[in-house]
Structure 1
Amino acid sequence: MANEEMDFSPDQEGVERGEVEEAEDLESLKKALEEAKEKAEKYLVNWQRAEADFINYKRRSEQERAEMASSANANLIADLLPVLDDLERALESASDDFDGPTWVEGVRLIYRKLKAVLEDQGLLEIEAEGKEFDPNLHEAVMCVEGEEGKVCEEIQKGYKLGDRLLRPSRVKVGKEQDGSGSDED
C-alpha cells in the first residue's frame, strides 16, 4: 500500500505541477499579449500622429508656395507700375499733331493692353479723388484749401494687388482755412 501511495502521489504531484506550469504559461502569454497590444496601440498612435504631421506639412508647403508665387507676382507688377505711369504721362502730354495721330494711338493701345494684362493679374487702381483721405491707401503730399479730410487732387495713382497695397496714391488733401488768420494782420 505504501507503494501505491507513492505511485499515486508523484502522478498527482506531476499533474498539479503541470497545471501550475500551464497556468503560469497562460499568465505569461496573457501578459505578453497585453504588452503586444499596448505596443501596437502606441505604434498606431505614433503612425496617426506622423500621418497628421505629414498632411499639415503638405498644406503648409502649398500655402508657402502660393504665397511665394503671389509675392513674386506682386514684385513684378510693382516693377511695371513706373512703365505704366510713363506711358500715361506720355499720352497726357502728346498732342495729335506730334508725328501724327497714328503714333499717339499706338502708344494708347500699348497702354491699354499693358493695363489690361496687369488688371487680369489682379491689379486694382485705388480711387482717390473726391474720397475721404485714408492713410492706409493714400500718401498726403500736401494740404490745400478745400473740404476737410477729402482728397482734392491725385498726383500719382495708387495700386493694390488683391488686399496687398503695392503703392499708395500720392494726393493733395483738403484743409479748411481758418478765419482767424485774417484777424492776426
Structure 2
Amino acid sequence: MSRKKHETEVEQPEETVEQEEKRSIEEELSEQIAALTTELDQVRNDYLKEQADLINTKKRLEKERVTERKYAAMNVAKAFISPLDHFELALSHAPDDDRTKSFVQGFEMILKEIKKNLETVGVSEIDALDEDYDPNFHQAVMTEKVDDIEPNKVIEVLQKGYMFKDRVIRPAMVKISE
C-alpha cells in the first residue's frame, strides 16, 4: 500500500507541471487573443475612418464639380458686361434724325437680343434705383442730402450692376441719400 501511495504522490507533481504548462500556454494564448483583438479593433476603426474620409472627399468633389458647372459661363458673361455698357452708352447718344433712325432701331434690337441671351445663361441686372442701399449689391460712390427721401436710399444709378445666377459680377455704382 505504501508503494501505491508513493506512486500517486509521484504522479501528482507531473500533473501539476502539466497543468501549469497548460495554464501558461492558455494565459499566453489569451494575451495573444487580447492583443490581436485590440489590433483588429484598431484596424477596423482605421478602415472606417478612411472609408468615411473617402466618402466625404467624394461628396466634396461632387459639390465642387456641380458648383464649377453652375458658374462655368460666369467669366464669359463678365467679359460681355463692359461692351454692353458701351453699346448702351452709344445708343443713348445716337442722333434722333430720319437718316439714322433705322440704324438706331437695328442696334436697339441687337442690344435687346444680347440682353435676352445673357439672361438665358443667368446674367441679370441688379435693380438699384429707389431701393435700400445694400453693400452686397451696390457700391456707393456719392451721397446727397435729399428732402422727402429717407437716408440710405439709392437715388441715382451711375453704372449698372450685374449678377450671374446668385453671384455678383459687378456691383451697381450708385448715389445714395443721406
> TM-score when scaled to structure 1?
0.72
Tell me the secondary structure at the aligned position of residue 170 of structure 1. strand
Task: Kindly state the Cα deviation for residue 82 of structure 1 after the two structures are TM-superposed.
Answer: 0.8
Distance 1:14 1:170, change over 3 A: same
Residues 94-173 of structure 1 aligned to structure 2 (within 5 Å): 94=94, 95=96, 97-98=98-99, 101=102, 103-143=103-143, 146=146, 147-149=149-151, 150-173=153-176
Distance 1:98 1:33, change over 3 A: farther
Per the alignment, residue 24 of structure 2 pairs with 24
Per the alignment, residue 61 of structure 1 pairs with 61
More displaced stretch, 43-52 vs 6-15: 6-15
Question: Take 1:89 and 1:100, find their aligned partners in 2: how far apart are those partners?
Answer: 16
Task: Kindly state the Cα deviation for residue 121 of structure 1 after the two structures are TM-superposed.
Answer: 3.0
Question: Take 2:105 and 2:51, find their aligned partners in 1: how far apart are those partners?
Answer: 60
CA contact (8 A) 1:96 1:104 kept: no
Q: Percent identity?
A: 32
Q: Say yes or no: does 1:14 pair with 2:14.
A: yes
Equivalent AA in structure 2 for residue 118 of structure 1:
L
Question: Take 1:164 and 1:170, find their aligned partners in 2: how far apart are those partners?
Answer: 16
Distance 1:174 1:7, change over 3 A: closer
Equivalent AA in structure 2 for residue 49 of structure 1:
K
Task: Kindly state the Cα deviation for residue 42 of structure 1 after the two structures are TM-superposed.
Answer: 0.7
Equivalent AA in structure 2 for residue 75 of structure 1:
N
Structure 1 unaligned segments of length 5 or more: list them.
176-185
| Count of matched residue positions in the alignment of Structure 1 and Structure 2 | 174
Residues 63-102 of structure 1 aligned to structure 2 (within 5 Å): 63-67=63-67, 73-94=73-94, 95=96, 97-98=98-99, 101=102
Per the alignment, residue 42 of structure 2 pairs with 42
Question: Take 1:123 and 1:138, find their aligned partners in 2: how far apart are those partners?
Answer: 16
Distance 1:141 1:16, change over 3 A: closer
CA contact (8 A) 1:154 1:172 kept: yes
> TM-score when scaled to structure 2?
0.74
The Cα offsets for residues 94-123 of structure 1, whole Å up to 9 and x where unpaired, read as 45745562x445433432333233223332
More displaced stretch, 134-143 vs 41-50: 134-143
Equivalent AA in structure 1 for residue 58 of structure 2:
K
Equivalent AA in structure 1 for residue 159 of structure 2:
Q
Equivalent AA in structure 2 for residue 83 of structure 1:
P
RMSD: 3.1
Structure 2 unaligned segments of length 5 or more: list them.
none
Question: Take 2:48 and 2:150, find their aligned partners in 1: how far apart are those partners?
Answer: 62
Tell me the secondary structure at the aligned position of residue 116 of structure 2. helix
